[in-house]
Chains A and B, each alone.
Chain A
């Protein structure tokens, strides 16, 4: 199965185009995973806390609401992707994965991914 990982909500369509094209060419289904990295969000919240002199409670609140916001955003993004894939005649499955990079790779392996596209986005998300 072909798989693609989306980690950037701003460039996902451009990043997915090659994956959609390849799935169409091969006539295979495409699994699109929206990857949310809690540790990246925690790091972002920590930086914000320091710059804005936010207390621990505000940091936890902002981290939790960003995670919740990302889950909702993931639904919207995956809906747009499904729409785009439908227009191209590509069968697509979607998944929201929240965890670390290792967990994501295990999940992709379990789902039988023979090839993972969007690796650039994946590596950026892991190192952010």
Chain B
């Protein structure tokens, strides 16, 4: 599979009054064409900051301290998104990568009709289109999200939450992007609407071959649509791999904690338990592994939480990586006997 976005050692800091908050800590990630990848994280995980980093939308007091984000076009040409000029950005945004922001229902201008939103968006990035052309394309994308073209004449307040979200997804499709980044696209929606939106997105990906990057905290939602999953905690990627592998057999105590903490309809209720503690203060300088405060492996004495060892990822399966060296070591120890057998 062809790589389409390459994030290399991205670090984003926020400069507050007299301290620095490291929202993203040395994040490296590859995103492949035509896949649906979900970035999972709760508050303070750094996933939203990462998203704004990918789009080069980090604004003061945040700043990109180091790292690069490369976009690789079909012909192999690679551009560093973070170093684009404003005019290049304008062409790049929405045509190559578009976004559906979090709580985007509130991002619609209440005094503009839906059709004006489409027109404004297109003209901002491609000034040589006529209104007719734009509206025709708008009808097309609206059909994709199962909305009738009459919606174009509506004002945002006349639409339900689910309809607004679909309008925004349609808007993100209008310039035929290759990648769409969605930040919590179903969070404020009802279960039925959420189901439809996920169905929509899954179809969009299959039919149009678009890469979808999902940011969410809802593992259950993700498990329905995502091929790959990336779990973030305190600004770092703690585990990544194919959804089935990571969620079926987590290899990081945080992922395991998350899977155990989320109730669903068919499981054994008595097996649910929350993760103790709360997300750490990201302005502190960490002397141990960032997860020690809440980690059951550390608390049971199986791990020392050595910070240095958590500065890289370890393989724990096919295309599966974890930041927990203790778990990786246990995984390796499991493998070795078989190797020993085959060697003699």
**B is bound to A:** no
B positions within 8 Å CB-CB of A: none
Q: Which residues from chain A sit less than 8 Å from chain B, CB to CB?
A: none
